[in-house]
Structure 1
Amino acid sequence: MTSDKKDLEERGSGPSGVERKREAGRAKQPQWANGLRQLYDSVVDEDIPDQFKDLLSRLDAKD
């Protein structure tokens, strides 16, 4: 570890232990796992289509 990184971690500006473990875990993942995570994240971020919103509204109104 370089002295700069060590100084940052001691001051709390560097990555936490949890963040370092998460980064290490991602580094060990195969390339397809990274692609799958990107695909999942892009689907989660998509807007709900208007037709689906309308359907949900009609179903809620029946209750």
Structure 2
Amino acid sequence: MTSDKDDTKDSASQGGEKDRNTVNRQKKDAQPGWANGLRQLYDSVVEEELPDSFKDLLSKLDGKN
């Protein structure tokens, strides 16, 4: 059997998680404009395909060529 105290504790822990998400969102929104630009630049570089010359070099270093 669950007491009312346990229900309150569960609600509070869920509310705490929601509060943390709200705070994290507010921190992200409060960042300067250049931070968002830098994040977009980083993401675009990470998403780029590896150039063939790098693939060839890695293949040679692995001893496959």
Does the TM-score normalized on the shorter chain lie above 0.5? yes
> Which of 1 and 2 has higher RCO (CA within 8 Å, sep 6+)?
1
Distance 1:46 1:19, change over 3 A: farther
Provide the rounded CA distance (Å) in 2 between the counterparts of 1:18 and 1:53: 42
Q: 2:46 aligns with which of 44, 47, 63?
A: 44
Structure 2, unmatched stretches of 5+, are 1-13
Q: Percent identity, aligned pairs only?
A: 56
Alpha-carbon RMSD across the aligned residues, in angstroms, is: 2.2
TM-score (norm 1): 0.64
Q: Give the CA deviation at 1:17.
A: 4.2
Provide the rounded CA distance (Å) in 2 between the counterparts of 1:46 and 1:59: 22
Structure 1, unmatched stretches of 5+, are 1-11
Match of 1:19 in 2: 21
Match of 1:61 in 2: 63
Larger radius of gyration: 2
Structure 1 residue ranges, 4+ long, deviating more than 2 angstroms after superposition = 16-22
* One-letter identity of the residue aligned with 2:57: L
Distance 1:56 1:17, change over 3 A: farther
TM-score (norm 2): 0.63
